Amino acid sequence: MSRQLKLIIPKGRLQENVLALLARAGVELTFSHRSYRPACSDPELAVKLVKSQNVPSLIALDRHDAGFTGLDWVTEHTLAMQGQTTPASVTELLDLGSNPVRIVVAVPEALAGGDYRNRPIVVASEYTELSKQYIAQQGLNAYFLKTYGATEALPPEDADMIIDNTATGATLVQNRLTIIDDVLRSTTRFVANSVSMQEDWKREKLETLVLLMQSAMNADQRMLVEMNVDATVLDAVVAMLPAMKAPTVTPLFHKEGHHEAGFAVKAAVPNKQLPSLILKLKQAGARDILAYRLEKLVP
């Protein structure tokens, strides 16, 4: 069997965005019915599907080379491993920026004024280490209750406080819970173990994956804008283009002389600036303006 890099894909809410980014990086996965081991278009990758919560520990145990998980679970793992030894450490290679969530502290509306500080309480969460750290930092008289989903359903009968992740806070509001503190902000991360990073071909493979994924992410932030410009307004148009380094300017073909036909100008423009920029370019004399999406962008 040829050499392979063992890669973990998170099962659940992170999965869709991870698969989409890998596809844009040229890694296509095909899932069979109920299989946790999808077929991969890259023969040098052996892929397995596991829960995001397990990814950091499996990588630290050197059972897998790399994988995707949330910063929340990387932090949870790091806190749990304090004072313990594992074969490898977990190294972050790339912040995908996808699936952003807040890890928050929430209580029933009746306790939002701080009444929970004057008596023993139950704190419920899937995050054991983050919760215990918060309880200690706040000096709370609390019993920690480990949960396995639907944490927001426990108060007020079964818990006085929860520590949970939320994207919008809507679920907490629906359950009449009030956010009183923030513990952490988390996004999806690509992580690897330190042992794999010391092996030349694995490190190169991981660096290539990071480059391809980052180039796809960079491309999402910009659009390529092309236009035709007369020589008389060229300097004014070029001056207003927010290119990565400088706009590309090419003389247009003309049988009587290149410059009489004007110039083709193109630049990679940040998405947020594009709507107002197109109008300004038109007013400055640019014509035949084209804007289209990029697939990959390597600075």
Q: Is residue 194 part of a domain?
A: yes
Please say if the pLDDT value at position 256 is more than 80.
no
Same domain, 68 and 214: yes
Q: Amino acid identity, residue 3? A: R
Q: What is the pLDDT of residues 113-123, one digit of tens each?
A: 877 888 899 99
Q: 34 or 175, which is more confident?
A: 175
Same domain, 178 and 49: no
Same domain, 22 and 121: no
What is the per-residue pLDDT for 88? 86
Q: Classify residue 150 as left (phi > 0), alpha (psi -120 to 50) or beta.
A: left
Same domain, 88 and 207: yes
Same domain, 196 and 65: yes
Same domain, 208 and 239: no
Domains in the chain, number: 3
Rounded to whole angstroms, the Cα distance separating 18 from 8 reads 11
CATH of the domain at 250: 3.30.70.120
Where among 132, 166, 186 does a domain terminate?
186
Rounded to whole angstroms, the Cα distance separating 221 from 299 reads 12
Q: 298 or 217, which is more confident?
A: 217
Q: Is residue 298 part of a domain?
A: no
CATH of the domain at 50: 3.40.190.10
Q: What is the pLDDT of residues 107-166, one digit of tens each?
A: 998 888 877 888 899 999 999 999 999 999 999 999 999 999 899 999 999 999 999 999
Per-residue pLDDT band for 207 (boundaries 50, 70, 90) equals very high
Same domain, 156 and 109: yes
Structural domain harbouring 90: 5-97+188-219
Structure tokens at 217: 């992410």
Please say if the pLDDT value at position 178 is more than 70.
yes
Per-residue pLDDT band for 213 (boundaries 50, 70, 90) equals very high
Q: Is the dihedral of CA 116, 119, 125, 130 positive or negative?
A: positive
Same domain, 31 and 58: yes
Mean pLDDT of 22-41: 91
Same domain, 117 and 74: no
170 DSSP 8-state letter: H
Same domain, 230 and 159: no
Same domain, 47 and 194: yes
Q: Are strands 142-146 and 121-125 parallel, antiparallel or unpaired?
A: parallel
Same domain, 214 and 240: no
Other C-beta atoms lying within 10 Å of the C-beta of residue 120:
10
